[in-house]
Structure 1
């Protein structure tokens, strides 16, 4: 379930996402190009790195930066997550930290006193409904945003243009459209997005393909979706999707395992 943010937060929050499930699961999470803030009201979550000998317990509330690699998360029991899905530049702007320092990072929100998350977590425990919980988080974010937030018009405009083109634009054409040099664009992404514009464009194109795949009609073939999303070679698509998510198109769509666009229930 998605809930739109209040107008005062729309510049940093894309939407709120509510995820609930009654049993333990292994989940695959991969990048959708956004950053986020997670509040866990259910049982413990654990991050499992590939080939790691043990699991890492995740904080009750945390912020994640750009995910450049897919990760597995183990839910030990009931899932009850409330996620503030932030814009690609949202985590960096909110925390006032260079985005490249947040890449592939999961950080306990208690690290940042101005977010008042200890108080927020207490309030969330006592809130009866999810919409009440969202309002509590919104109030905390609005309070935090009273301080000046670092923003970058170039990075913001570049992200919007890439999204409009569904990732189908080269870095050279992007820089030309924005009337800047390639290197200037690269620096803006490093500082405010956390990944390169080429990488963000690749993620945007894969996410557009997955959106078309989820919404296709019975008459629409996988090849039709592939071409419409800008891929001309199935092998290239499979390689890019595997690199981003560790999954094939068939595994992505298998058996109603989608909990969110970039969150998949694993066998």
Structure 2
């Protein structure tokens, strides 16, 4: 399995965290975890099915948006595959797709529903591209065009989301609201509109993501990981991990959990 990251052009970096590629010649069962950011995804080789209740399979999209989510989801493919993705800050969604972030939180709309005929044209360009670097260039051009034609994002809210991410979800929410020159109620409403979640829930998701990113960290106990990620109560750490990943932390960090092969590839 190959996992690769391509940094975005500087002009896109306030809105795009990175481009990513995941490829394999083997079948794969993937588990997507709760995430405070969104992903624009293109399956240029093969299409995954989503595993729903009782492991029933439903066809997923060939290209579309995976909004910020508090839920874990499971996907499977019976052959080799290739995926190109764009990891997007949540507040960029209104500028890219002309709709509030909260409208796509926990949702996976396909590209045609998001962009109409323009989505069909973009999908075709991505599928026919000769390399992943060409895909990155095509998407960079498209995303720049989208950013120019839509409304500005309130600067204080984008700053608040960046602050939440950079501080690993460990924030004083009333102090952050005051820093944004908003009442707590105004801040909570605006933050939810542009991040998809309330500040409290978003901070929990980011703390969980920070903990999950410790996968493969040698020499660290679960207690150390929990403490470093702002969990001062082991039961809260376990409960959040189960809610946002479906795993007990001990199972996830054992290296035997389903859907972690991409992380093994990332570390190799």
Length-normalised TM-score, structure 2: 0.87
User: Which consecutive segments of 4 or more residues in structure 1 shift more than 6 A?
Assistant: 260-264
Structure 1 position 90, deviation (Å): 2.3
SS of the residue corresponding to residue 45 of structure 2 reads coil
Show the counterpart of 1:75. 77
Give 1:260 deviation, angstroms.
Answer: 7.9
Map 1:1-267; keep pairs closer than 5 Å: 1-51=4-54, 54-113=56-115, 116-211=118-213, 213-214=214-215, 216-218=217-219, 220-253=220-253, 254-255=255-256
- More deviation in 107-116 or 42-51? 107-116
What SS class does the counterpart of residue 145 from structure 1 fall into?
helix
Report deviation, 1:110: 1.6
Task: Give ranges in structure 1 of 5+ residues lacking alignment.
Answer: none
CA RMSD of aligned residues (A): 2.5
Q: CA deviation at 1:49?
A: 2.7
Structure 2, unpaired ranges of 5+: none
Instruction: Encode CA deviations 1:139-179: one digit per residue, 9 max, x unaligned.
Output: 22222223133412232121122123211123223223333
8 Å contact from structure 1 (residues 38, 62) kept in 2: yes
CA distance in 1, matches of 2:94, 2:81: 27
Q: 3-state SS of the aligned residue for 2:148?
A: coil
Conservation of the 8 A alpha-carbon contact between 1:35 and 1:89: no
Measured against aligned partners, the alpha-carbon deviations of 1:228-264 in whole angstroms (never above 9, x if no partner) come to 2211222220111111111122322314866588999
The SS at the match of 2:50 is strand
Shift, 1:216, TM fit: 3.0
Q: Distance in 2 between matches of 1:130 and 1:203?
A: 30
Q: Measure the CA separation in 1 of the matches of 2:87 and 2:154.
A: 19
TM-score using structure 1 length: 0.87
Deviates more, 1:153-162 or 1:105-114: 105-114
For residues 20 and 154 of structure 1, do their structure 2 counterparts lie closer, same or farther at Cα, with a shift above 3 Å needed? same
Shift of 1:206: 1.4
Is contact 1:155-1:188 (8 Å) kept? yes
Residue 31 of structure 2 contacts residue 258 of structure 2 at CA under 8 Å; is this kept in 1? Answer: no
Following superposition, the deviation at residue 204 of structure 1 comes to 1.2
